Amino acid sequence: MENVIRGKVFVVGDNIDTDQIIPAEYLSYNPADAEERKYFGKYAMSGVPPAGSGLPDGNVPFVAGDGFSSEFTVVVGGKNFGCGSSREHAPLALATAGVRAVVAQSYARIFYRNSVNGGYLVPFETPQRLVEKFATGDEAEIDTTAATLKNLRTSEQFDLSPLGDVGPIIAAGGVFEYAREQGML
């Protein structure tokens, strides 16, 4: 896990479910095949409702054109991010697209655990609502050690909830790599 994650922000609202993160019709691709895995990045966030849906910045595509990756490194969401099915492909899709961290008010437990267990991305929780403090395209900087998020456009800095016991698992690259490092496997 990087000590500092810096990049463009993609802002979404509350209750972003796993079918919005990676719609079911794209689950036919094999994530173990490098040539097919890139399609998880291509279709990441393609189910997020368009503008007028009440979601912030809903008119900005997460992956532009025919690309396979996104220009966005950080996703800022509201409450209940990753709800819906227990689709482990959701954090994989975001990571394949280039996301390194998600900051949300709260997570569906299964999305959070899949993010940590797979070592796909860093899921930070925030005690305050940040979807109104960022706009899609803002540059942000996350200090993973200090658990802070800074909006580089406004210079506002926000405290995040510490990662706690999941920090070393994410740093190792997932639960199996962590278990190997600890001599459990």
Mean pLDDT, the chain, rounded, equals 92
- Number of H helices and number of E strands within the chain? 6, 7
pLDDT digits over 75-134, tens only?
999 999 999 887 789 999 999 999 999 999 999 999 999 999 999 999 999 999 999 999
Return the half-sphere exposure (C-beta side, CA atoms, 13 A cut-off) of residue 136: 18
pLDDT digits over 48-91, tens only?
876 444 445 556 789 988 999 999 999 999 999 999 887 789 99
Contact 168, 144 (CB under 8 A): no
Q: What is the pLDDT of residue 55?
A: 45
Number of domains in the chain: 1
Handedness of CA 57, 2, 111, 151 (dihedral sign): negative
Contact 71, 90 (CB under 8 A): no
135: containing domain: 4-181
Expressed in angstroms, the distance from the first to the final Cα of the chain is 21
Burial status of residue 185 (CB atoms within 10 A of its CB: 0-12, 13-18, 19 or more): exposed
Bridge-based pairing of strands 4-11 and 72-76 is: parallel
pTM of the complete model: 0.93
| Rounded-to-integer distance, Cα 140 and Cα 84, Å | 28
CATH number of 25's domain: 3.20.19.10
